[in-house]
A and B are shown apart, each in its own frame.
Chain A
Amino acid sequence: MERKEIKLMDGIFLHCMKTDRFKTNYICINMMSRLNREDVTKNALLPLVLRRGTKKYPTMKDISIKLEEMYGASLDTGIDKIGDITNTQFVMDMISDEYTLDSSKLLKDGIDLLCELLLNPISKDGAFNKEYVDQEKETLKEIINAKINDKASYAMERSIEEMYKNEPYGLYKYGYIEDLDKIDERVLYNHYLDVLYDAEFHIYVSGKFDENEISKEFTNYFSKVDRNFLNWRAQDKAFGAFESLGDYLRAPDVKNSNSVVEHKEVIQGKLVLGYKLRGHSAKHDFYSMTMYSTILGGSASSKLFCNVREKKSLAYTIRSQFIKHKGAMIVSAGIENDNCLLAKECILKEIEDMRIGEITEEEIHDAKVNLVTRFKSMNDSQIAMISWAFGQMLFDGDEDIQTVIDKINAVTKEDIMTVAQRLEPSVTYFLTK
């Protein structure tokens, strides 16, 4: 695969990932801005309104018809938190032109449709279409309320809220119902212009294409946008660096750990234990913490899987994960409602074993083998390669998969113990009946 980064204009980058191994082409536009309480609901509402219609495709039906004509191309928008940044994604994929039954130019059409959606929405006199905004406020309300429908992700979401109570990352990415009354077609349109004004854009295209041709098309669209990019991410460490420096040597603050029990009509209890890595750096701690989390609860040979699930039969789902941009390590398990204390005790024993270095060479070896497979397998998925390249670009420039594998293989038991000893308990959350 051939990779190339083209700067289209200040703060707008086109990342070309040329490959002829697939039958599809992908386009992914990432639009990054600051995450804060004031804008979180507007940010979530924005892509919902944008996908309702553009000047060229005024209704959702027009967009759907276009997608169907493009051999069922898919178009998706999404919103996510990357540390304290909010990232809005506009993603499309379509089959390569050689597999069409006529002479369609699907990638070109795709770029056109996606840019239309983002940059040429239906608007009039400094406002979005009122009907669209009103309807999408209702849609967003449903999305916010639907948080409870999947109990495992609800428990995870609630734990993160508790862990980052007074920080942007603790915000719910879909926002808050109480904000909706204050948002109308004009407020949202102004917000849209504000975001375009200084958002950082990273556009990824994967597949078979001519980079000069596509960069011309994107430039055409983006050159009409009123922008003044100040590179806020580079200037504002708190938002951009994915690090929490300064308190590296502080002793673990156990008192700060919070315990939350929430009652709902559930049949199974969901237990979550959240930890924060003191003085974390997404760049430097990634490899040791990824190894840590894989050994603790990242695979079928992990400590949690073997001991809490297989030996003690306490859970079916049990895993740990590491959120690199925030330095958070989170263990989650689905358990019997009455087993909370027992399960917690068993999980804590495994976490303590990690801390005192009860880690065998075999466990380290198994975790490395597991991770190497995982990283290599990204080569067969265009979207996985795009996500990885984007994530890497944000905090470390441009490591290729082989470099990542070499760094994983270089992690030692001491490295793992060092991060283990920097982990500070932050929340114990239990969702139960």
Chain B
Amino acid sequence: MIQEKLNEKVYFEHLENGLDVIIVPKKGATNYYATYATHFGSLNYKFKAPGESEVTVVPDGVAHFLEHKLFEEEDGINALDKLSKIGANANAYTTFNHTAYLFSCNSRFDEAFDILLKFVQSPYLTDENVEKEKGIIGQEIKMYDDDPDWQVFFQLLTALFGDKHAVSKDIAGTVETISEITPEILYRCYNTFYDPSNMVIAVAGDVEPEKIIEKIKASVKAQEEKPEIERYYGEISPTVFKKRVENKMDVSIPMAALGFKDTKAQKLRKAGYKEDNSDLVKRAVAIEILLSMISGDSSKVFEELYSEGLITKSIGADFTFEEDYAYSAFSFESNDVDKVVERIKSEIEELKEKGLDEDIFNRTKKMLYGGLVRTFNDPTVAARAFVTDYFKGISSFEFVDAYQNIDKAYVESVLNEHFNFDNMALSVVLPNN
């Protein structure tokens, strides 16, 4: 299947073994980019593998731990090193719902791609190399423990969804949970989640899509597509778990995030990116427009708070929707967090009452559309966006039409039901003194 927008073509292919492939070809590009990703993230601590009757529970931080270990190879040479030697910059990351291995280079793409395909498919885990990694990941965890933005963010997730759901677990786990990780546990997760039917490959750059597909078919094991893995995320607190969470750190100013739990997005979501998920995309676009209209740089809220000295930089605002949860969040720094919250609330109330201004609505649409065009400036950035959206069950191109076509009445209806103060929670990190 080929999709075409904004002078770019993107190829989608679903192979017989269940693997999905996304290719963003770009004639004349200097850089190549490839990523090999699995639908396995920090949310997946409890699951039932296809064909099994028992539910498996693993320690927090396993997906991330595996990400670190997969570079290790039986010949003793780290795959990161192999890629680096031929001029490819490799990396990997773990999110709530996926783990991705990637590299970029500007020559010897075929060799680098072979290394990527091989190392992701050949885990080499020993007691010794697993033990050694605990020190390194321990330092990674502690680095995040000192990061106030990260702490504000996780506090908010717990406040919104409760501590029984996997979204409240730190992506890397804790020093205690990773101490329980063994090669057996890692192999068990690897065998379940690193199966072609649970994975996607994306490639960008000056490549021929047919050749890429052929290469992938030759290197990824042939088998029948497996059924879906059953995933258990834990329970979401039916109401907001805590209205307010606070913590203290060595920071110069209170940092806060104000979140609204969304209850509709996951009901709109259908499995697989080939399904029609346009309602989900439409909802996401509506909420993005609203966030920008409520507190963006040209909003009344921002103007007033700034001139009163209550904020000194832009208010961040994002809508996040994943397989089992969704929320929007405003983030800001202020010496009077409660006043900022009050102002955002009263603006929402006023918009609900008066409706959205037509001119501002159109201007906001235009701005967000421009942002999308930029995404496709760089094939590497575009490929990343396609992978992230793939795990949400959508194609990034769907946003292009959605931003052009969305109407004000629909956005107003979303305003009335998404920004419900009963679904609101506040997370704050305060200075120590």
Contact flag A380-B30 (CB < 8 Å), given A71-B370, A369-B87:
yes
Query: Does A268 count as interface, using CB distance less than 8 angstroms?
Result: yes
User: Are B143 and A377 closer than 8 Å at their CB atoms?
Assistant: no
User: Are A268 and B145 closer than 8 Å at their CB atoms?
Assistant: yes
Which one of B78, B363, B377 lies within 8 Å of A65 (CB-CB)? B363
- Nearest residue, chain A, Cβ from B149: A149
Cβ-closest 5 pairs across A and B? A71-B370, A313-B135, A72-B367, A64-B298, A72-B370
User: Are A24 and B249 closer than 8 Å at their CB atoms?
Assistant: no
- Note all chain B residues with C-beta closer than 8 A to A234: none
Q: Give the interface residue-count category, chain B.
A: 35 or more
Contact flag A23-B373 (CB < 8 Å), given A265-B432, A380-B31:
yes
- Note all chain B residues with C-beta closer than 8 A to A315: 136, 139
* A residues apposed to B, CB below 8 Å: 21-24, 59-61, 64-65, 67-73, 93-95, 99, 101, 131, 135, 138-139, 142-143, 145-152, 264-268, 299-301, 306, 309-310, 313-317, 334-336, 365-366, 369-370, 372-374, 376-377, 379-381
Query: Does B86 count as interface, using CB distance less than 8 angstroms?
Result: yes
Near A by CB (< 8 A), chain B positions 261-312 give: 296-298, 302-303, 306-307, 309, 312
- Note all chain A residues with C-beta closer than 8 A to B89: 370, 373-374
Query: Does B132 count as interface, using CB distance less than 8 angstroms?
Result: yes
How far does the alpha carbon of A142 sit from the alpha carbon of B310 in the complex, in Å? 11
Contact flag A138-B312 (CB < 8 Å), given A69-B363, A95-B370, A268-B139:
yes
- Nearest residue, chain B, Cβ from A141: B312
The stretch from B41-49, B250-258, B409-417 touching chain A is B250-258
Q: How far is the CB of B335 from chain A (nearest CB, A)?
A: 9
Q: How far is the CB of A331 from chain B (nearest CB, A)?
A: 16
How far does the alpha carbon of A374 sit from the alpha carbon of B142 in the complex, in Å? 30
Q: How far is the CB of A246 from chain B (nearest CB, A)?
A: 39
How far does the alpha carbon of A69 sit from the alpha carbon of B369 in the complex, in Å? 11
User: Are B298 and A61 closer than 8 Å at their CB atoms?
Assistant: yes
Query: Does B368 count as interface, using CB distance less than 8 angstroms?
Result: yes
16 CB < 8 A contacts A-B: A23-B6, A59-B303, A60-B306, A67-B298, A71-B367, A143-B312, A145-B253, A147-B252, A148-B250, A265-B249, A265-B250, A313-B135, A314-B135, A334-B142, A380-B30, A380-B378
Contact flag A316-B297 (CB < 8 Å), given A21-B28, A68-B363:
no
Query: Does B401 count as interface, using CB distance less than 8 angstroms?
Result: no
User: Are A310 and B366 closer than 8 Å at their CB atoms?
Assistant: no
User: Are B367 and A68 closer than 8 Å at their CB atoms?
Assistant: yes
- Note all chain B residues with C-beta closer than 8 A to A151: 146-147
User: Are B87 and A373 closer than 8 Å at their CB atoms?
Assistant: yes
Contact flag A299-B84 (CB < 8 Å), given A64-B297, A68-B366:
yes
**Contacts A101-B366, A313-B133, A336-B138 supplied; 8 other A-B pairs, CB < 8 Å:** A67-B298, A71-B367, A266-B250, A300-B90, A301-B85, A366-B85, A370-B89, A374-B89
- Note all chain B residues with C-beta closer than 8 A to A142: 252-253, 312, 333
Query: Does B114 count as interface, using CB distance less than 8 angstroms?
Result: no
User: Are A101 and B404 closer than 8 Å at their CB atoms?
Assistant: yes
How far does the alpha carbon of A58 sit from the alpha carbon of B143 in the complex, in Å? 43
Query: Does B88 count as interface, using CB distance less than 8 angstroms?
Result: yes
- Nearest residue, chain A, Cβ from B306: A60
How far does the alpha carbon of A64 sit from the alpha carbon of B85 in the complex, in Å? 46
User: Are B369 and A101 closer than 8 Å at their CB atoms?
Assistant: yes
User: Are B377 and A301 closer than 8 Å at their CB atoms?
Assistant: no
- Nearest residue, chain B, Cβ from A376: B106
Q: How far is the CB of A367 from chain B (nearest CB, A)?
A: 9
Q: How far is the CB of A101 from chain B (nearest CB, A)?
A: 7
Which one of B30, B145, B370 lies within 8 Å of A73 (CB-CB)? B370
- Note all chain B residues with C-beta closer than 8 A to A139: 312-313
Determine which residue in B133, B296, B369 has the highest number of CB atoms from chain A within 10 A of its CB, and name it: B369
- Note all chain A residues with C-beta closer than 8 A to B306: 60, 135
User: Are B377 and A22 closer than 8 Å at their CB atoms?
Assistant: yes
- Nearest residue, chain B, Cβ from A94: B370
User: Are A268 and B133 closer than 8 Å at their CB atoms?
Assistant: no
How far does the alpha carbon of A352 sit from the alpha carbon of B372 in the complex, in Å? 49
Task: Flag B351-393 by CB within 8 Å of A: 1 or 0 each.
Answer: 0000000000001101111110110111010000000000000
Q: How far is the CB of A180 from chain B (nearest CB, A)?
A: 14
Determine which residue in A24, A95, A151 has the highest number of CB atoms from chain B within 10 A of its CB, and name it: A95
- Note all chain B residues with C-beta closer than 8 A to A374: 89
Q: How far is the CB of A90 from chain B (nearest CB, A)?
A: 17
Contact flag A369-B86 (CB < 8 Å), given A24-B374, A61-B298, A268-B146:
yes
How far does the alpha carbon of A317 sit from the alpha carbon of B147 in the complex, in Å? 14
- Note all chain A residues with C-beta closer than 8 A to B85: 301, 365-366, 369
Q: How far is the CB of B72 from chain A (nearest CB, A)?
A: 10
- Nearest residue, chain B, Cβ from A151: B146
Which one of A23, A147, A313 lies within 8 Å of B374 (CB-CB)? A23
User: Are A373 and B105 closer than 8 Å at their CB atoms?
Assistant: yes
How far does the alpha carbon of A316 sit from the alpha carbon of B145 in the complex, in Å? 13
- Note all chain A residues with C-beta closer than 8 A to B97: none
Q: How far is the CB of A343 from chain B (nearest CB, A)?
A: 10
- Note all chain A residues with C-beta closer than 8 A to B30: 376-377, 379-380
User: Are B84 and A366 closer than 8 Å at their CB atoms?
Assistant: yes
Q: How far is the CB of A208 from chain B (nearest CB, A)?
A: 13
- Nearest residue, chain A, Cβ from B404: A101
Q: How far is the CB of B239 from chain A (nearest CB, A)?
A: 32
Determine which residue in B29, B30, B313 has the highest number of CB atoms from chain A within 10 A of its CB, and name it: B30
Q: How far is the CB of A22 from chain B (nearest CB, A)?
A: 5
Q: How far is the CB of A335 from chain B (nearest CB, A)?
A: 7
Task: Flag B90-133 by CB within 8 Å of A: 1 or 0 each.
Answer: 10000000000000111100000000000000000000000011
Near A by CB (< 8 A), chain B positions 298-354 give: 298, 302-303, 306-307, 309, 312-313, 333
Q: How far is the CB of B241 from chain A (nearest CB, A)?
A: 25
- Nearest residue, chain A, Cβ from B308: A135
- Note all chain B residues with C-beta closer than 8 A to A313: 132-136
